[in-house]
């Protein structure tokens, strides 16, 4: 299967701990997106990469959040000093071009206790 892959699928962490999620996009896609989705809501944009360059960040991406995409391949999203409000589904998507459909992974569900 050559779709978007996210790991881990589920993560439970204690408040104050750091967590890191990984996303492997479809190999020929140079655009990669991170979204956050809370229960009953649509996905909210967090950040966007074109190749290795992080081109856009949402106001939702506080100082505790950092994302990287070294060498324009996989991406990681790190949350430092997690808070209960960070509990959500974190979705990664990739696309082959601007203004085309985005292909999503199955998400990482984070629970902060």
Q: Which residues bind another protein (CB under 8 A)?
A: 31, 33, 40-45, 48, 55-56, 89, 91, 93, 98-99, 101-107, 109
Cβ 57 to another protein shortest distance, Å: 10
Cβ closer to another protein: 9 or 81? Answer: 9
Burial 30-40 (b: 16+ CB within 10 A, else e): bbbbbbbeeee
Cβ 15 to another protein shortest distance, Å: 23
Angle at 74 between CA 7 and CA 9, to 5 degrees: 10
34/94 Cα distance (integer angstroms): 9
Cβ 8 to another protein shortest distance, Å: 13
Cβ closer to another protein: 82 or 95? Answer: 95
Cβ closer to another protein: 27 or 99? Answer: 99
Cβ 113 to another protein shortest distance, Å: 20
Q: Are 20 and 11 in contact (CB under 8 A)?
A: no
5/92 Cα distance (integer angstroms): 8
Written as six digits, the tokens of 48 are 């966007």
């Amino acid at each position: 299967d050559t779709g978007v892959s996210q790991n881990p699928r589920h993560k439970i962490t204690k408040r104050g701990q750091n967590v890191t999620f990984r996303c492997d996009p479809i190999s020929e896609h140079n655009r990669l997106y991170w979204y956050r989705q809370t229960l009953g809501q649509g996905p909210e944009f967090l950040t966007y990469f074109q190749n290795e360059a992080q081109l856009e960040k949402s106001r939702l991406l506080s100082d505790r959040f950092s994302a990287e995409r070294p060498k324009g391949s996989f991406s990681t999203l790190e949350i430092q000093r997690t808070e209960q409000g960070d509990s959500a589904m974190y979705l990664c998507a990739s696309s082959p071009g601007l203004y085309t459909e985005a292909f999503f992974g199955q998400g990482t569900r984070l629970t902060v206790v």
